[in-house]
Amino acid sequence: MAKSSGSRGQRVGYIRVSTVEQNNQRQKELLNASGRIDRFFEDKISGRTKTARPGLRECMTYVRDGDELVVSSIDRLARSLTDLRGIVDELTGKGVTVTFLHENLIFAKGTTDPRADLMLGILGSFAEFERAIIRERQAEGIALAKKAGKFKGRKPALSPEQVAEIKRRVLEGESKAALAREFGVTRPTVYRALKTPKAAWDKSK
């Protein structure tokens, strides 16, 4: 899709929902309320890095110098402080302004605001800490459920189709570590997938 010409550039919105069941309407309404949005990019997965989010990858390739990327909040753009800082730096480095509506923070190339940088670090750290607390509570809940004999386990991290794709791409010479990052799983998960017969993954669906 060709981008329209103009000195001001485009306002691009990025939306991420944690699961395919979650509704994106609230984020979209918030972005639209901030002004005209020329194009939306969206991910309906909870990838830990930008490599596991095709919508974000496409968005970062699409935006150009003079554009503005609008996101409802920092936790929609990144799942870790390191990833957050890297994404913001990459975007501003190519001349894209990054706006977080909920936190009222704006980052742009050539503008230095120590307070905004400090807030980005603090808020990113809090978001990361909050996710760690949630994981800890989930682990405690699972432990209690196991003790009570109620825990049934969780669904496989990879679908049979994803396992087949990983096996094919490994045979083509791709790095297992890179594939683990792309699919948002650990390397041991990839190794187990490569060793597990297809029938076993089919039964686990």
Provide the annotated active-site residues.
18
Give the chain's end-to-end CA distance (angstroms, integer). Answer: 37
Helix pair 176-183, 187-195: axis angle to 10 deg: 110
100 DSSP β-pair partners: 71, 105
71 DSSP β-pair partners: 14, 100
Burial-class residue 6 by CB neighbours within 10 Å (0-12, 13-18, 19+): exposed
SS3 call for 2: coil
